[in-house]
């Protein structure tokens, strides 16, 4: 089976012939017809997450898929061959940059019917990230003020739409060229990060979603009202995350050191900071599919690449800025 793998951390991704997936009793074998590209793929290859996601190599990358069920394990009850599905396979079972993949049925949902396979393949990771940040961790309510950074990106473009659905007033940061685009998605306040300082222009916010980290995270704490919360998806991870992830005591101590300054700053301001590493959830994908088919959320695909150009596409993602998501189209099964 054809797949794109890397054999050692920091080495390039290359096409390789890998074994066919093993299909367990609760697994679904899916023909991958579209696979979203995520910065997480490149960061894994670069070795940034080896402490909390210690993958063994060689590793097939890819965290998103849309495709067709080929067959199911003996214990599967929710899906049958021929179903059109989408999924974010759980950690340590990723590998959607391949012709086929076996996925636990609880990570899978029927794909939205109102969008294309490519659009469905763009959604799982970013939509789950937005859902788990805004709904689970943020508990965003009607009338609250929400700031979403990088609103034209993969996570941001979905998070803006979800926040508006939840009834929030939404601010976002983008380059000036994307101002009209994010307004169309529902943003009420648009900050051009190249010419404006959001820290001085915004205040009294209930929630911030920060995919950037670093100074941007520190400044985000200052725009919150007391009791507000920042959820970061680029780090630094927190002791609460380390405990929930079951990391050993040495790693927990290291993680605590990484986020100590951020947590201290948050405490001084009377706000809080949480780190999110999203998890797979077929149940949440079913709810998201309903929002898509109801017209509440629309995926944004800024670029597509054929399967054969997966390595090039990953390099492109690392050096370019696109609206929404880039997607790999699956190989021709007749090839």
Residues 63-121: tens digit of each pLDDT:
999 999 999 999 999 999 999 999 999 999 999 999 999 999 999 999 999 999 999 99
Mean pLDDT, the chain, integer: 95
Q: What's 2-123+300-329's CATH class? A: alpha beta
Please tell me the predicted confidence (pLDDT) of residue 246.
86
In the chain, CATH 3.40.50.720 covers: 126-275
Q: Quick one: pLDDT at residue 166?
A: 98
- Tell me the two tokens of residue 111: 């794909």
- Residues paired with 4 in a beta bridge: 15
Please list the ranges in the chain whose pLDDT falls under 70: 332-335
Name the nearest CA neighbour of 295 among 177, 134, 171, 186: 186
As given in the structure block, the two tokens for residue 220 are 């985000």
Asked whether the beta carbons of 94 and 62 are under 8 A apart, the reply is: yes
| Phi (first) and psi of residue 207, to 5 degrees | -155, 140
The model carries a pTM of: 0.96
**Strand 325-329 and strand 301-306: pairing?**
parallel
Give the domain 126-275 fold. Rossmann fold (3.40.50)
**Angle, CA of 301, 304 and 305, to the nearest 5°:** 160
pLDDT in tens, 216-253: 999 999 999 999 999 999 989 999 998 888 888 888 88
What one-character DSSP code corresponds to residue 133? Answer: I
Kindly report, as residue ranges, where domains of CATH 3.90.180.10 are found in the chain. 2-123+300-329
Contact (CB, 8 A) for 72 and 30: no
């Amino acid at each position: 089976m054809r797949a794109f793998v890397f054999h050692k951390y920091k080495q390039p991704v290359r096409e390789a012939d890998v074994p066919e997936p093993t299909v367990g009793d609760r697994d679904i074998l899916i023909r991958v017809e579209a696979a979203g590209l995520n910065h997480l793929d490149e960061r894994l290859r670069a070795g940034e997450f080896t402490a909390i996601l210690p993958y063994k190599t060689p590793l097939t990358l890819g965290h998103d898929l849309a495709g067709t069920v080929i067959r199911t394990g003996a214990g599967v009850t929710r899906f049958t061959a021929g179903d059109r599905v989408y999924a974010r396979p759980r950690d340590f079972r990723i590998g959607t940059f391949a012709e086929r993949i076996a996925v636990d049925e609880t990570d899978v949902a029927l794909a939205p019917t109102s969008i294309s396979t490519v659009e469905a393949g763009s959604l799982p990771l970013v939509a789950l990230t937005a859902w788990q940040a805004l709904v689970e961790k943020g508990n965003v309510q009607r009338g609250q003020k929400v700031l979403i950074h990088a609103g034209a990106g993969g996570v941001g473009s979905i998070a803006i739409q979800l926040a508006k659905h939840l009834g929030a007033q939404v601010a976002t940061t983008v380059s000036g060229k994307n101002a009209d685009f994010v307004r169309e998605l529902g943003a009420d306040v648009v900050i051009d990060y190249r010419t404006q300082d959001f820290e001085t222009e915004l205040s009294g916010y209930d929630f911030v979603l920060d995919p950037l980290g670093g100074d941007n995270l520190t400044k985000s704490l200052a725009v919150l009202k007391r009791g507000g919360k920042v959820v970061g998806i680029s780090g630094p991870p927190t002791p609460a995350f380390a405990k929930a992830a079951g990391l050993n005591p040495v790693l927990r101590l290291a993680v605590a050191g990484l986020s100590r300054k951020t947590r201290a700053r948050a405490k001084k301001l009377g706000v809080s900071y949480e780190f999110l590493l999203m998890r797979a959830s077929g149940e949440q994908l079913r709810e998201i599919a309903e929002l898509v088919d109801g017209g509440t959320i629309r995926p944004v695909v800024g670029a597509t690449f054929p399967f054969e150009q997966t390595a090039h596409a990953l390099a492109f993602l690392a050096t370019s800025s696109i609206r929404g998501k880039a997607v790999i189209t699956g190989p021709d099964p007749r090839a």
